[in-house]
Amino acid sequence: MALISFDENKKRDVVLIGRVTLDFNPNELNRTLDKVKTFSMYLGGSPGNMAVGINKLGKNVGFIGCVSDDQFGDFVLNYFNERGIDTSQMTRAKNGERMGLTFTEIKSPTESSILMYRDQVADLEIAPEDVDEQYIADSKILIVSGTALSKSPSREACLLAVQYAKKHGTRVIFDIDYRPYSWRSKKDIQIYYSLLASMADVIIGSRDEVNLTEGLDEEATEPADHVIAEKYIEQGAKIVIIKHGKKGSIAYTADKKAYKVESYHIKLLKSFGGGDAYGSAFVYGLLAGWTVPQALQHGTAHAAMVVASHSCSDAMQTVEQIDAFMQEHKDEKVITELDWEAAL
Ligand SMILES: Nc1ncnc2c1ncn2[C@@H]1O[C@H](COP(=O)(O)OP(=O)(O)O)[C@@H](O)[C@H]1O
Ligand SMILES: O=C(O)C[C@@H](O)[C@H](O)C(=O)COP(=O)(O)O
């Protein structure tokens, strides 16, 4: 019996709500941004990347978002439309708001960071009026990105989308997705992230993002992962995934099982993009009716392939490509069932 079932009569697999932006990744590697001369432009924004990833895996994807009314907004809409990602629910900024821009700094294969330009950003202009109840009802899964909760009216749009999802049996996945820009305070983060976590069927976040949800210091290690996961499961979550970067991730399920997933060994190019690839392939596995371990391993393989690549969105893989990677790495035993209270 699958932990999470889906209404196969719903015509769309996944709808995501949140930001779609642009990534500018340096062509000259292993140096600080002030030493970079040229960049490659890619579609970006964690929800945008996940939409591309889930679509690349063959799923029917829609996006609720707002893009700038300029050539960058055109780029994003064209990119989605060319791949069959539904843009009927996307709007254009009305008052000159700009696309979010993310400049990735790749200082070394193991040291990268992102510099985000998010002043007057279009993606936070999604409004409740842009959220169509039937569109949500027609989707098996709604994925909410945490950053979309950072400001109104995007915040209210997300909360309304979740209300519609709960009303129509659409499963809610909360991708915590913390970006410091746009938030007024840590207390606001705790309020809205914990509210979303209490309404989600699946919660995916890094440990520092979970700490922010709990109102803890980002570096906190107490309470242990399983204690926090238990709380979310008591609130109704069926699966809680806590990511730990290159150390991998740990997943807890409502049927009281815990799984440790170690990272695959790859030649790292940048430390970003793994989470979006992980989430995309994990969601694919859920929709395919796979077991949680199978879906976790698929997500982990996809993540490894994307952190070894220059892009995030363009580097998203097909099912066949992920399967081939897993075959190449079949000697790496990455997944272990744990005692519930074991740590990563
Ligand atoms: N250095 C790495 N080598 C291989 N896989 C990695 C590496 N870093 C991250 N990953 C994979 O990407 C997943 C998500 O990465 P993480 O940094 O935890 O999340 P996010 O990208 O959302 O911040 C990890 O669980 C792991 O599977
Ligand atoms: O999330 C953003 O807005 C930045 C993304 O565009 C960028 O591709 C990235 O950092 C994704 O990394 P991840 O969240 O670690 O997968």
From ligand 2's centre to the CA of 18, what distance in Å?
13
Best mutation site among 307, 328, 334, 336 for ligand 1, i.e. most ligand atoms within 8 A of its Cβ?
307
Neighbouring residues of 276: CB distance < 8 A, sequence distance ≥ 6: 46, 49, 50, 53, 306, 312
DSSP letter for each residue of 56-102: HTT--EEEE-EE-SSHHHHHHHHHHHHHT-B-TT-EE-SS--B--EE
From ligand 2's centre to the CA of 273, what distance in Å?
5
Instruction: Tell me if residue 174 falls in helix, strand or coil.
Output: strand
Q: Where are the domains of the chain?
A: 12-273
Mean pLDDT of 185-197: 98
Which pTM does this prediction carry? 0.97
Whole-number average pLDDT of the chain = 96
Best mutation site among 271, 280, 305 for ligand 1, i.e. most ligand atoms within 8 A of its Cβ?
271
Whole-number pLDDT of residue 223: 93
Lowest-confidence range among 14-23, 67-76, 243-252?
Answer: 243-252
Kindly report the protein residue whose alpha carbon is nearest to atom 13 of ligand 2.
273
Query: Of the bound ligands, which one is closest to the alpha carbon of residue 49?
Result: 2
Kindly report the protein residue whose alpha carbon is nearest to atom 5 of ligand 2.
45
Instruction: Tell me if residue 267 falls in helix, strand or coil.
Output: coil
Distance (Å, rounded) from C-alpha 307 to C-alpha 153? 33
The residue behind tokens 């520092």 is: 208
Distance (Å, rounded) from C-alpha 178 to C-alpha 199? 18
If pLDDT is split at 50, 70 and 90, which confidence band does 339 have? confident
Kindly report the protein residue whose alpha carbon is nearest to atom 17 of ligand 1.
245
CA 248 to ligand 1: nearest atom: 25
Question: Which CATH class for the 12-273 domain?
Answer: alpha beta
Mean pLDDT of 114-141: 97
From ligand 1's centre to the CA of 311, what distance in Å?
14
Mean pLDDT of 100-109: 94
CA 177 to ligand 2: nearest atom: 14
Kindly report the protein residue whose alpha carbon is nearest to atom 21 of ligand 1.
275
**What is the interface pTM, i.e. ipTM, of the complex?**
0.97
From ligand 2's centre to the CA of 215, what distance in Å?
23
Residues listed for the chain:
344
- In this predicted model, what pLDDT tens digit does every residue of 206-223 receive, in sequence order? 999 999 999 999 899 999
| CB neighbourhood size of 222 (10 A) | 8
Kindly report the protein residue whose alpha carbon is nearest to atom 1 of ligand 1.
246
Mean pLDDT of 136-164: 98
CA 275 to ligand 2: nearest atom: 16
If pLDDT is split at 50, 70 and 90, which confidence band does 344 have? low
From ligand 2's centre to the CA of 44, what distance in Å?
7
Kindly report the protein residue whose alpha carbon is nearest to atom 10 of ligand 1.
246
| CB neighbourhood size of 342 (10 A) | 14
If pLDDT is split at 50, 70 and 90, which confidence band does 181 have? confident
Whole-number pLDDT of residue 29: 95
If pLDDT is split at 50, 70 and 90, which confidence band does 343 have? low
CA 114 to ligand 2: nearest atom: 10
Whole-number pLDDT of residue 58: 98
Are 99 and 122 contacting, i.e. CB atoms less than 8 angstroms apart?
yes
Q: Which two tokens stand for residue 218?
A: 């980002």
Bridging pattern class, strands 139-145 and 111-117: unpaired
Mean pLDDT of 182-199: 97
- Higher-confidence position of 273 and 284: 284
- In this predicted model, what pLDDT tens digit does every residue of 109-118 receive, in sequence order? 889 999 999 9
Are 263 and 278 contacting, i.e. CB atoms less than 8 angstroms apart?
no
H or E stretch covering 49: helix 46-56
In this structure, the residues whose C-beta lies within 6 A of any atom of ligand 1 are: 206, 243-246, 248-249, 263-264, 266, 268, 271-272, 274-275, 278, 300, 303-304, 307
Kindly report the protein residue whose alpha carbon is nearest to atom 20 of ligand 1.
275
If pLDDT is split at 50, 70 and 90, which confidence band does 93 have? very high
Query: Of the bound ligands, which one is closest to the alpha carbon of residue 150?
Result: 2
Query: Of the bound ligands, which one is closest to the alpha carbon of residue 241?
Result: 1
